[in-house]
């Protein structure tokens, strides 16, 4: 799926037959199996993301493929291995591709294909945010908004596996009871709406669990200010998205009297910072694959779409209140 200019995905993305590159000595020929449509992919096509590929470009930053053939200098991969992108900008919305070996990461074949296809962005983001900002112990709690997003679903499951309680904030919607049920089934301890954050009943909620030491924000605006109120003194709020397209507003009192910390997180930057530290990446991937094998981490709710129906998938990915990730089957 190629776009030659930036703009609305449904207008600029086209299905094209491209000539395959020749296999060089350090290259790997990959047959793509499945690739999701993430919010960042949409932003890249619109031209609003901090990292843009030279045009024309193939869409998609995430997915899983099977190695068909390797160049003579390739040592870590062999035909039949499963691989995912090692960094962003690979262009995964394609049936086949030839990539340099260092752009790919091997993943085990004994995990479900949808888990592998959605492994490199959301679960990694969730894992790092839960690990890198506060040292959380079993019994501690965290609060997050957009809890039904891909990252939100991964946070619930990874936290649950570590004995950490989650308070999950979602927007009110027509099918709210169904969404609450879904998130509880993943292991959420509490699911509340943004309106509830402002209500006195929140006091009752904190009789059964401690106030959170960590807040995860991917919305911005009012939702964030309300969530911040419930953070413990010296707690940390990490912002990793801004779906409301509104700034994060923090009362001065939160800084002075509660000494809260505001941080930001971007998985792409983490990968850059750890480019010389492959062990950090391997250890995270191993932990995530272990959770998947034990059934403690599942792929987010997915809708599988054949590549030729990409138009419908792009439109569905941009609808509000969508809790299902569109996955292109390649």
Helix (H) or strand (E) holding 131, with range, is helix 122-132
C-alpha closest to that of 159 among 286, 269, 291: 291
Query: To which residue do tokens 């062990």 refer?
Result: 279
CB 235 within 8 A of CB 212: yes
What's the token pair of residue 1?
């799926």
Contact partners, residue 241, CB within 8 Å, separation at least 6: 39, 146, 149, 151, 217, 218, 219, 220
Catalytic residue among 3, 49, 240, 310: 49
Q: Is 240 a catalytic residue?
A: no
CB 65 within 8 A of CB 80: no
DSSP label at residue 195? T
Instruction: Determine what percent of the chain falls in helix, strand and coil, rounding each to the nearest 5.
Output: 35, 20, 45
Which active-site residues does the annotation give? 49
């Amino acid at each position: 799926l190629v776009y030659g200019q930036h703009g609305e995905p449904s207008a600029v993305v086209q299905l094209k037959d491209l000539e395959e590159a020749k296999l060089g000595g350090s290259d790997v020929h990959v047959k793509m199996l499945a690739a999701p449509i993430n919010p960042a992919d949409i932003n890249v096509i619109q031209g609003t993301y901090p990292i843009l590929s030279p045009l024309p470009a193939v869409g998609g930053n995430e997915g899983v493929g099977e190695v068909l053939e390797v160049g003579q200098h390739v040592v870590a991969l062999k035909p039949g291995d499963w691989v995912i992108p090692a960094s962003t900008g690979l262009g995964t919305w394609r049936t086949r591709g030839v990539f340099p070996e260092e752009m790919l990461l091997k993943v085990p074949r004994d995990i479900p294909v949808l888990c592998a296809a959605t492994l490199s962005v959301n679960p990694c983001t969730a894992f790092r945010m839960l690990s890198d900002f506060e040292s959380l112990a079993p019994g501690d709690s965290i609060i997050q908004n957009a809890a039904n997003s891909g990252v939100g679903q991964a946070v619930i499951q990874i936290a649950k596996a570590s004995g950490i309680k989650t308070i999950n904030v979602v927007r009110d919607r027509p099918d709210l009871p169904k969404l609450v049920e879904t998130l509880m089934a993943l292991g959420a301890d509490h699911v509340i709406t943004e309106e509830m954050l402002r209500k006195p009943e929140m006091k009752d909620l904190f009789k059964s669990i401690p106030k959170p030491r960590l807040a995860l924000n991917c919305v911005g605006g009012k939702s964030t200010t309300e969530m911040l109120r419930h953070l413990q003194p010296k707690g940390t709020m990490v912002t990793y998205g801004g779906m409301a397209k509104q700034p994060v507003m923090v009362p001065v009192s939160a800084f002075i009297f509660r000494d809260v910390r505001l941080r930001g997180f971007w998985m792409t930057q983490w990968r850059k910072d750890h480019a010389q530290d492959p062990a950090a990446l391997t250890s995270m991937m191993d932990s995530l694959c272990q959770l998947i094998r034990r059934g403690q981490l599942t792929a987010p709710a997915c809708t599988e779409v054949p590549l030729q129906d990409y138009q419908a998938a792009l439109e569905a990915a941009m609808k509000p209140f969508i809790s299902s990730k569109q996955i292109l089957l390649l």
